[in-house]
Amino acid sequence: MSKHWHISRRTFLKGVGASLALPYLEIMGGSAKSAAAATPPTRLACIFQPNGVFPKAWDVTGVGKQFEFSPILQPLRGLKDELTILSNLDNIGKGHVQMTGSFLTGTTITGGKNAVSLDQMVAQAIGHKTPFPSIALGTEPPRQGAAGRDPISFANTVSWSSDSTRVSPEINPRVAFDRMFRDLSGAEAKEKAAQRKSVVDLVLEDAKTLQRKASHLDQHKIAEYLDSVRSVEVQIEKTLNPPEREWFPLDQPELLRPDAGIPQDRSVHLKLMMDLLVLSFWTDTTRVGTLMTAHGFSRQNFSFLDGVTSDHHGMSHHKNQEQAVDEYTRVSRWYIEQLAYFLEKMKSIDEGNGSLLDNSTVLYGSSMKDGNGHKKENLPIVLAGRAGGALKPGGHVVCDEHTPLANLHLTLLQKYGVETDHFNHASTGTIGQLG
């Protein structure tokens, strides 16, 4: 490879029916100027968990780097140096609907009106640099009905692009994948999509041409990247097109037809959406994403977990009964296990100046502390990543009591280059311990 040969950070692998942005490569830096331009960007992921947690199973002991992981947070032990656990951040509003709506806006839904959410504010600032300003993903079909005076549908998303416009999450992994990575313009492209041609196969010739000019390290990175894309494709196909069954019971139970294209295995589904979010960041398809692990009024059944028999919303109203508390804690820990998977995957991707996680911020949390009383004080909040050096993981950060969650949003907004001294007029300042 010529040491003077380089490509743009915005180079795509192309083929009929597909267009894939490339991850960070050495050949994106041929000069000091181009090297600066090739510096990996900073991303923001906001991940929502419904129904709160049991406080005694969540709350950590110790301050700063000397904290001890609580039972729910144990799956994150191997990521201790990447984390900030925040205490004493409060939400506003009442009940699941309002508090879900407030999670990223800091504003109570009133008369169907909310405010622009954190993710969309960041997308408005940096989204013009990517094919998609932001993406919104989820795992649970939207729910309708009412909770008091509030439509339950307002709890189907945490992302708002205006005070009256909700951003609905995509829950079908194949649809999300195709939107991000397939080019469906033209009859030939549509035919290849209908034939379920692999995106990797469609861009393979272009990839081989690039690899011939690349360094050994870049060749490895390109191969690793294409393997990751294909792995997600294969997993999607496996979950949506399972093999033919060889055995059936003699007495056929009555089965409800599931929604088309949605994996039935909860863990598989959530991990697929996490994989897609990682790919979207890695390829610079977007730099801002939200993931609803379930909607804010979720009644999902977790009977696939040992010792769990009731739905998530039901167990969250545990009334301090031992069995309900145990189930509630098991489900919360399961969610943290999925978060650990996501963070480890991000940490494993090298971008030259650090990992994908180093160049990102991951905000994880619930809009309430304890579902039993819809407690809105001292929310369960985890922050991961370094935002390209703008953030410093601080272990356990104990804020002043009754610090608005909006203070965290203002802090992050400023870290992403937005010049403002308030967040939706709900903040009272920033959190200085974050760096």
Q: Which CATH class is domain 50-171+287-435?
A: alpha beta
CB 60 within 8 A of CB 85: yes
Confidence of residue 197 (pLDDT cuts 50, 70, 90): low
CB 52 within 8 A of CB 371: yes
For the chain, give the percent of residues with pLDDT over 90: 60
Weakest mean pLDDT among 156-170, 205-219, 295-309, 388-402: 205-219
Q: Exposed, middle or buried by CB within 10 Å (0-12, 13-18, 19+), for 250?
A: exposed
Q: Which residue has the higher pLDDT, 120 or 130?
A: 120
- pLDDT higher than threshold 80 for residue 5: no
- pLDDT higher than threshold 60 for residue 354: yes
Q: What was the pLDDT predicted at 151?
A: 83
| Predicted confidence (pLDDT) per residue in 226-262, tens digit | 888 888 887 777 665 544 444 333 444 444 433 446 7
| Predicted confidence (pLDDT) per residue in 76-118, tens digit | 999 999 999 999 999 999 999 999 999 999 999 988 899 999 9
Weakest mean pLDDT among 87-101, 135-149, 385-399: 135-149
* Residue 54 CB partners (closer than 8 Å, separation 6+): 72, 318, 325, 328, 329, 332, 370
Q: Which residue has the higher pLDDT, 222 or 37?
A: 222
Q: Exposed, middle or buried by CB within 10 Å (0-12, 13-18, 19+), for 364?
A: buried
Q: Which residue has the higher pLDDT, 391 or 283?
A: 391
* Residue 430 CB partners (closer than 8 Å, separation 6+): 407, 410, 411, 414
Gyration radius from the chain CA atoms: 22
Q: Which residue has the higher pLDDT, 250 or 49?
A: 49
Q: Averaged over 281-287, what is the pLDDT?
A: 89
| Predicted confidence (pLDDT) per residue in 287-339, tens digit | 999 999 999 999 999 999 999 999 999 999 999 999 999 999 999 999 999 99
- pLDDT higher than threshold 50 for residue 1: no
CB 231 within 8 A of CB 216: no
Q: What was the pLDDT predicted at 301?
A: 92
Helices (H) and strands (E) in the chain, counts: 12, 13
- pLDDT higher than threshold 60 for residue 53: yes
Q: How far does Cα 409 stand from its chain's mean position? A: 16
Assign 3-state DSSP to the chain and report helix, strand, coil percentages, each to 5: 40, 15, 45
Cα dihedral angle (345, 350, 355, 360), rounded to 10 degrees?
Answer: -80
Looking at 243-388, which runs of residues are DSSP E strands?
Answer: 288-292, 360-365, 381-384
Q: What is the DSSP string of 283-321?
A: TTS-SEEEEESS-TT---B-TTSTT--SBHHHHHS-TT-
Q: Kindly list the domain boundaries of the chain, sorted by start residue.
A: 50-171+287-435
Looking up tokens 């360094």 gives 215
As a whole number, the mean pLDDT across the chain is 86
What is the token pair recorded at 10? 């915005």
Q: What was the pLDDT predicted at 250?
A: 41
Confidence of residue 52 (pLDDT cuts 50, 70, 90): very high
For the chain, give the percent of residues with pLDDT over 70: 84
Q: What was the pLDDT predicted at 284?
A: 86
What is the token pair recorded at 112? 């169907």
What is the three-class DSSP state of 127?
A: helix
Could you tell me which residues are beta bridge partners of residue 89?
403
| Predicted confidence (pLDDT) per residue in 7-33, tens digit | 666 666 667 666 676 777 777 764 444
